[in-house]
Structure formats: structure tokens, C-alpha cells
Structure 1
Amino acid sequence: MIPILLAMPGNEQFALHLDRALGCEVGRMEVHRFPDGESCVRILSPVHGRDVILVCTLDRPDERIMPLYFAACTARELGARRVGLVAPYLSYMRQDARFREGEGVTAAHFARFVSDFCDWMITVDPHLHRYRRLAEIYSIPTRAVGAAADIAAWIEEHVERPLIVGPDAESEQWVGAVAERLGCRHAVLEKTRTGDREVSVTALCDVEAGCTPVLVDDIASSAQTMIAAVARIREAGMAAPVCIAIHPVFAGGAYDDLLAAGAARIVSCNTIPHPSNGIDIADAIGLAVGELLAEPLIEP
């Protein structure tokens, strides 16, 4: 039977993009929140015997995760063959160590939770730092789709003589992949973080005159890392940078703060709905979904 896509609230537009890439059915579902804050999920399309694909990006996860859990459980209860999750942005990956005594390694806790109610999961460029692969903490089949090809295609079309800049060592994997596809230079700054909104970045040096700096990072949350990097780029005498975020969380006034810091333009992938979305990664996700759906069903 044809797989069915079910979009959690706020993910309807991305589900339509994904449907165009997959050519499956977009189903109907209602999520109701009661006055006491509890949620009720009602699946209105037939799912018995079908592969169900839940689409739910996981920014601001604490308010999204219970409806998602109930949707997956309800699909199983109604006879779904398999229940998979497309989470373009995967939360709780940055707490991948015990940074202070008494803390938990939340990335691993969250992975066990998701692995318990989904049969597979696909995400985009998860924040893999101390973990090298999702399989280290997720017990279900997973795919980590890269956004580098789509980012490089956008830069090639919109930016002349780009210099790809990463704000910290962790960004090397993204800026290196993008620069390689474009055949241009890249540079990586060094970051020191002393708090949630306290970040310092080393100066940019040895740059080629006339280049347009393109600052690429995976997650823009408070945007303090990008803001500090923009300052260093301008101090180096370069033009105002184009800023590209794979995951535009932009908590609070972060987007406006980044513009005010001197970004020439802010563009993001559509892993999280945001006015800055300009790079569509649905086709890449669609290919990964097709691969997972083609794998044989493993009976418990």
C-alpha cells in the first residue's frame, strides 16, 4: 500500500514539499490541546497495514514531543505497518556529555525515548560532536541527510566569489563540504563559549581581497556565535557576510540581533519554518525516506 504522510502541527508545508519528492499520500490528523494543557491526537486517514511517516521538526521540543508520541502510538494502535519519523531538526543533541556534576546526558535519554516509539528516523545534519553517528545512541535505523549540496547550489546561484567561513571548529564539517562542492576556499574561526549568550571568536586573517564571506553554521539558536563571527569578519575589512543557518531556531530576538550585527543577508534551510527559509532540503530527505521504506520489515 502507498505510504502515508502525517504532518504534526506546524509541519504541513514541509510535508507538502516532501510529498512532491516521494509521491505518497498526505493524510489528515487532528491534534487538540485541552485547557489543562493535555493533548489528544485523532488520525482521520486509514493507516491499517500502511507505512506511516510522521513529519515533525523538533525545535522547541518540549511542547511537541508528547503529541508526536501520541500520534505514533495511535498509528500503531490503528494497525500501521511501520511508523517512521522525519525530524528535519533533531533536538537535544548538544547535551552529549555531562558538563557539570549532577547533569544527565540528555542526548542519550532522548534517543532512547524516540527509539521506543518509532521504527526509523531521518534528520538533517544532526549536531554530531562527541557522538560520531546517530547509531551510537539510537537503536532504530536512522539516516542523517546532509544539506551541503543544497547550500552549495544556493551559494553558486546567489553569491559571487564566495569565501566559506565557519564560526568554530565544529562547523568545519559543513563549511569544508560546501567549499569542496564549490571549489572555493574556506576558513574556520575559533570560538570560546562562557555562557548561553556569551561567546567570543578569534579574528579572521589571511583572507583574499574581493571575496564575499559566507558564514555557515548548523544551528542558529541565540545566534551569538554568528554575531561574534560577523564582528570578526568586518574587523578583517571584509564585506558584510551572507549568513546561512542549516537549522534556524532563532530563539527570542536572535534573528533581528544578527541582522543588527551587520549580516548582509540571512538564509536558512527549511528544516524549521522561518521567514529566512530559502534552501529546500525536501528532495534529499525524500531519497533517504525511499531507501528506508525499501528495507524489509523486521518483525519483533
Structure 2
Amino acid sequence: MTQGNSAADSRQGPRLQPFQPPQGDLAILAGSGNPVFAQKIANGLGVRLTPCQAQIFSEGNVFVRILENVRGRDTFIVQGVHQPVNDNFVELLFWIDALKRASAQQITAVIPYFSYAKGDKKDEPRVSIRARVCADAIEAAGADRVLTMDLHSPQIQGFFSVPVDHLYARAVICEHIKSLGIDNLVICSPDAGFAKSAAAFANLLGVPVVIGNKTRPDHSEQAEILEVIGQVAGRNVLMVDDFTITGGSLCSMAEVLKQRGAEDIYAAVSHGVLSKGAADRIQNSVIRKMFMTDTIEAPIEPLCEKMDIISVAPLFAQAIRSIHDRTSVSMLFPDDKQT
């Protein structure tokens, strides 16, 4: 797969003012997992994508090549770890290694969605802590820092020895929700584990929060909703989560909320992983609208009419500018109390 050399004519999302790098040169590379997302980032920064090539041979081997000089440059490889997860992850490692061997000055792995972040603990006997193994591999390949969004558990940043810039989609999502003018709104966390993040959503929107109680008996990705803690009768509800795979938990939660007297029910997730059948499940549910970011740009199945995409590429562009200019990334979230 060969990435284009020039910026697209039609720019998507808000465009940042072009700038002259204060030191060295900036290079944005697009892995095969996120070429459109990388182009949006380059558009926002007013730069072109650095030409590069990724190819999978017939026996499954991955080959990557950078098509111009990156010696001494501040480089950012945009490559999410989503389906096909293992192919995308191995490709990320090879890009990092290629940049290191090409004498790039600094290598930042830009991972819009880090799938293996779900494997963040040893919660049963004889299992791997997959997120830690991946963090070690990224560092061993030669990454100098990592830029990612909405890790399943923020403490995964501690698995890395290199700096990790952790972005949050909620500020962008909340701005979109505000533009819709939904009255009498309450935020709903699907479980206690996401309650703190849900409270941050509620703080940004100035609305109350309720918490769901769910159990997941096995690895089937299907959770059972047991109860909702808080009042939702007569309220419009926005369910929030970091990602959804099958959509089952959100649809089950929506049914419980309806039984408790909720009015219109919305859902918002940072990463729409969406396995086979998820789009139909959402379309046939009581959820009125579901909002997702564009961190995963090639879902397994087409999206349904109820799904809206909100771009976070401008936020990544601002973060890359801050990293390159050696300024604070946290200043991008002045009103967010959980950053």
C-alpha cells in the first residue's frame, strides 16, 4: 500500500493555522491502519504526508518502507492497533524500527486506538498481561514516546518507560452534544469502572450522572445489566463508554433505562470497534443516536443510520503540534478535571 504525497484538496474538520517548525523538520507518516485519519492530521497541520509504503506478501509477511529522507526529523507514525489487530501491531513495530534505522531524531507512535489495552491485568490464573507485553515491544522497537486516546485504563501509561501523551475524546464529544441542544440530560456510565470518566462528561456538560451495574460471566463480550443507580425517569440519557465491540452492553443498558422511564436515549463511545452484527444491533435498539470518533476508520461492516462520526483528528493535530513545539499537551484540556 503506497500513501499519497500531497494533502487532499477537500479538507475534513477544522483546519489549524499552518506553522513553521521552530527546530528540525516535522514528518507525518500514515500506516495502513489509519491512512485517512493521518491525512486529516496532516491537513490540520498544513503539511503533507511523508511518502511511505506498506505491503503484506502472500505468505503474510509485512514489509514497510519510507520513501524519503527522515534523518534528523521529528517523526510521527500514525498506526492504530485495531482489526486486524495483530497485523496492525506488527506493522507499527516495523515502522518504528524503520524510522530508527533511518536516523529519525524522535519517533512518536501515534496510536488512535490501542486494542490490547483491554489486557491490562492478571485477573485470572495463567494469563498474559497483554498491554504490558505490547508496551515493552513498542519501546524495544525504538519509540521515543507514544500518543494515544482513551486507553481502557489510564494506568496503562505506567506500563511504558517512555513518555505517553494520553488524549481524551470527551471534550470533542461534549461540544457536539452541546450543539444538539438536548434538554433535561443525564449521563449514564455502563458500570462502576467508567464512573469517574462519566463524571468528567457530566462536569463538562453540567448535568447529573447515573451508574449502571453489570456483570460479565465469561469472555463472550456480552454483559448482563443488573441495575441502574440513580434517577432517569423523564430524563434524556447519554450513555458513555470508551469503546463498544458488539454493542450488546449499550443496547441492554438502553432497555433497562427505558424500563426505568427514560425518554430519548443516546450513546457515545470513543472507539467504535463494532464486530460483525453490531451495527444491526444498534439500529434495531431503542437507542436514538450513537456517536463515535474516527479513530477506527475501517469497521468490519457498514455503519447504520443511527451512527454519527465525530472527528478527533484536529485534536491529534494540536497534540502533535504541541509535542513538536515542546509545549504542554495538557493545555488542550483546560476545562477537563480528569487530565
Give the structure-1-normalised TM-score. Answer: 0.91
Aligned partner of residue 48 in structure 1, secondary structure = coil
- The offset of 1:279, in angstroms, is 1.6
Q: Which residue of 2 aligns with 1:145?
A: 167
Q: Are 1:125 and 2:125 counterparts? A: no
Instruction: Select 2:238's aligned residue among 208, 214, 224.
Output: 214
- Provide the aligned C-alpha RMSD in A: 2.0
State whether residues 270 and 277 of structure 1, in contact with CA within 8 Å, keep that contact through their aligned partners in structure 2.
Answer: no
Aligned partner of residue 17 in structure 1, secondary structure = helix
- The offset of 1:272, in angstroms, is 1.1
- The offset of 1:223, in angstroms, is 2.2
CA distance in 2, matches of 1:197, 1:133: 22
State whether residues 33 and 81 of structure 2, in contact with CA within 8 Å, keep that contact through their aligned partners in structure 1.
Answer: no
Aligned partner of residue 40 in structure 1, secondary structure = strand
Per-residue CA deviations over 1:151-179 (Å, capped at 9, x if unaligned) read: 11111112512211111112213221111
Instruction: Select 2:311's aligned residue among 268, 280, 286.
Output: 280
Mark the CA change 1:205 to 1:32 in structure 2 (over 3 Å): closer, same or farther: closer
CA distance in 2, matches of 1:254, 1:38: 30
- Counting matched residue pairs gives 293
Instruction: Select 1:89's aligned residue among 113, 125, 135.
Output: 113
Aligned partner of residue 194 in structure 1, secondary structure = coil
Q: Which residue of 1 aligns with 2:13?
A: none
State whether residues 186 and 209 of structure 2, in contact with CA within 8 Å, keep that contact through their aligned partners in structure 1.
Answer: yes
Query: Which AA in structure 1 matches 2:277?
Result: G
Q: Which residue of 2 aligns with 1:70?
A: 94
State whether residues 203 and 233 of structure 1, in contact with CA within 8 Å, keep that contact through their aligned partners in structure 2.
Answer: no
Q: Which residue of 1 aligns with 2:136?
A: 112
CA distance in 1, matches of 2:97, 2:222: 41
State whether residues 203 and 235 of structure 1, in contact with CA within 8 Å, keep that contact through their aligned partners in structure 2.
Answer: no
State whether residues 217 and 245 of structure 1, in contact with CA within 8 Å, keep that contact through their aligned partners in structure 2.
Answer: yes
Per-residue CA deviations over 1:15-69 (Å, capped at 9, x if unaligned) read: 1221233333311111111111111112113212211110011112212122222
Q: Are 1:187 and 2:218 counterparts? A: no
State whether residues 2 and 24 of structure 1, in contact with CA within 8 Å, keep that contact through their aligned partners in structure 2.
Answer: no
- The offset of 1:107, in angstroms, is 1.5
- The offset of 1:199, in angstroms, is 1.3
State whether residues 203 and 236 of structure 1, in contact with CA within 8 Å, keep that contact through their aligned partners in structure 2.
Answer: no
Q: Which residue of 1 aligns with 2:324?
A: 293
State whether residues 160 and 212 of structure 1, in contact with CA within 8 Å, keep that contact through their aligned partners in structure 2.
Answer: yes
Q: Which residue of 1 aligns with 2:62?
A: 39
CA distance in 1, matches of 2:308, 2:77: 21
Unaligned residue ranges in structure 2 (runs of 5+) = 1-23, 328-339
Query: Which AA in structure 2 matches 1:108?
Result: R
State whether residues 29 and 44 of structure 1, in contact with CA within 8 Å, keep that contact through their aligned partners in structure 2.
Answer: yes
Aligned partner of residue 321 in structure 2, secondary structure = helix
Mark the CA change 1:291 to 1:136 in structure 2 (over 3 Å): closer, same or farther: same
Give the structure-2-normalised TM-score. Answer: 0.81
- The offset of 1:291, in angstroms, is 3.0
CA distance in 1, matches of 2:215, 2:232: 25
State whether residues 210 and 230 of structure 2, in contact with CA within 8 Å, keep that contact through their aligned partners in structure 1.
Answer: no
Aligned partner of residue 144 in structure 1, secondary structure = strand
Q: Which residue of 1 aligns with 2:255?
A: 231
State whether residues 205 and 236 of structure 1, in contact with CA within 8 Å, keep that contact through their aligned partners in structure 2.
Answer: no
CA distance in 2, matches of 1:197, 1:82: 38
State whether residues 259 and 266 of structure 1, in contact with CA within 8 Å, keep that contact through their aligned partners in structure 2.
Answer: no
- The offset of 1:292, in angstroms, is 2.5
Spell out the pairing of 1:254-269 with structure 2 (5 A cutoff): 254-269=278-293
Aligned partner of residue 173 in structure 1, secondary structure = helix
CA distance in 2, matches of 1:51, 1:23: 16
Query: Which AA in structure 2 matches 1:265?
Result: K
Aligned partner of residue 165 in structure 1, secondary structure = strand
CA distance in 2, matches of 1:264, 1:68: 37
